Structure 1
């Protein structure tokens, strides 16, 4: 008995037709028929009823089918185990990234994965944090970089990439250029320049405003922190951004303190995708470094 015979037998059962099974297997139809006949001769029983318009299982075929499926599953499991042990991870991995993210951590992680498994297909997509979290939970994404303003949904594990204070920045000739701190409520009467909704930093900013019941007056939005700094430097408003991005602007601490946090997230219990498992393992190692 050969694994090929079992594979052909299962394909014919699932397709209920020799021709369609042969097309699925990319082999000639007579070859499929011949291998299944050999299997039947070896077992001493007909496994398939060929008398109708579609192929169906005989009583013996119904008894054999679960064992054939189990054998093929075991063989695939053995291959997966060998792949994992030898590091020959194949397949694809889907990565999500919050809009306007410029994370060196993510690019470094993907670079490590590519160097370790150069045959791996990696896809990268942008979306807002809410959709990315939902996508990780439902399996659309294997791993994602998101802006996190509170606790993660149950079932996710994460590694913090950045955790910075949110501050305001104004031009040197701005009327607040001598001010060192400002309550969030002042943002209701000031022209605010910030990232658009859906970005990680904006998610954290909106959550901080909601926590103190403040509705900021957002005058300008840009998806690039450098442009936000430039707009503020031209006197077009007050930029709200992470403290590391203030640049030449005069920094003003917002009160109460609010944080901008980016996290790399993945499912606690992953699927059977060895490629995704390899990426998650690298993320866990990076967390411990």
Structure 2
């Protein structure tokens, strides 16, 4: 019995199809079939029922499936322990980030990590924050940059990068341009331009409005803050963004929203269990964000602090 045979067996069990399983582990279909036949011969039992349109596990196969997962997990833990002792980092990391969000220190961290550990494959995934949280919970994403309202999920480790109020942005000729502040009720009288659902800024706006029984009219939405600003500059509505995003554009007036209590949070999240590679990447993130405009990483959730 070989470890690769257990790996192939798990792939077939997951895909319920020899061809798709072969593609997932980068082997030919005849090759994976032969390896599993050899595994069955070694164990003296049929593990896979091949009589139907899709393959299924036999009763013995179900038992072997659980043990195979445990064996491969134990081997991976052993490999990680040895790598840590040798100071080596390898494997694969999936990093998620909010769509159209440019955070230079994160890119610097990825670059520094890649130079230090070229053997680790890095995959970057753009998605909205809500989905990234679920991906991290499921383990399909190792580290994610998300936006949230007030705080990151309690069941995940989190490091705050930015926490600031949301605000409105209007052209100089807008009725609110000279206001020192506006309530959500006052903003509801105008079309709103905002980021899409799943972003921290939108979550703050939606939650604060709902708490006051308000439903703002979202006339336009865009994934990039610069697009929201450009649309507002052309008089298409009131932009709602974070104060720092608005401050970068001198063509609009900032109007504080006086009754949006929660802050828009930008944070990194990960599962509490971390591979050596992920720990190294987090170390690079700490170095990159320290001294950046955000002021560095502040742990806001997880085992160290709340």
Superposed displacement of residue 274, structure 1: 3.1
3-state SS in 2 of match to 1:182: coil
Superposed displacement of residue 262, structure 1: 0.9
Residue-by-residue CA offset, 1:240-276 (whole Å, 9 max, x unaligned)? 1111122221110001244211110011233xx4323
In structure 1, runs of 5+ residues without a counterpart are: 1-6, 16-22, 33-47, 58-69
Distance 1:202 1:238 in 2: 14
Distance 1:199 1:86 in 2: 41
**2:98 counterpart of 1:98:** yes
- TM-score, with structure 1 as normaliser: 0.70
- TM-score, with structure 2 as normaliser: 0.67
Contact 1:187 1:217 in 2 (8 A): no
Superposed displacement of residue 92, structure 1: 0.5
Superposed displacement of residue 281, structure 1: 4.2
The alignment's C-alpha RMSD in Å is 3.6
**Judging changes above 3 Å, is the alpha-carbon distance between structure 1 residues 10 and 215 closer, same or farther for their aligned structure 2 residues?**
closer
Q: Bigger CA drift: 206-215 or 188-197?
A: 206-215
Number of positions where the alignment pairs a residue of Structure 1 with one of Structure 2: 242
Residue-by-residue CA offset, 1:167-186 (whole Å, 9 max, x unaligned)? 10110111221111000111
Partner in structure 2 of residue 187 of structure 1: 187
Q: 4+ runs of 1 displaced by more than 6 Å?
A: 70-76
**2:248 counterpart of 1:265:** no
Partner in structure 2 of residue 200 of structure 1: 200
Larger radius of gyration between Structure 1 and Structure 2: 1
Residue-by-residue CA offset, 1:76-119 (whole Å, 9 max, x unaligned)? 65543342234321110011112232222321221222122122
**Judging changes above 3 Å, is the alpha-carbon distance between structure 1 residues 209 and 280 closer, same or farther for their aligned structure 2 residues?**
same
Superposed displacement of residue 277, structure 1: 3.3
Partner in structure 2 of residue 255 of structure 1: 258
Distance 2:121 2:147 in 1: 25
In structure 2, runs of 5+ residues without a counterpart are: 10-30, 45-69, 290-296, 300-306
Distance 1:186 1:119 in 2: 55
Contact 1:266 1:280 in 2 (8 A): no
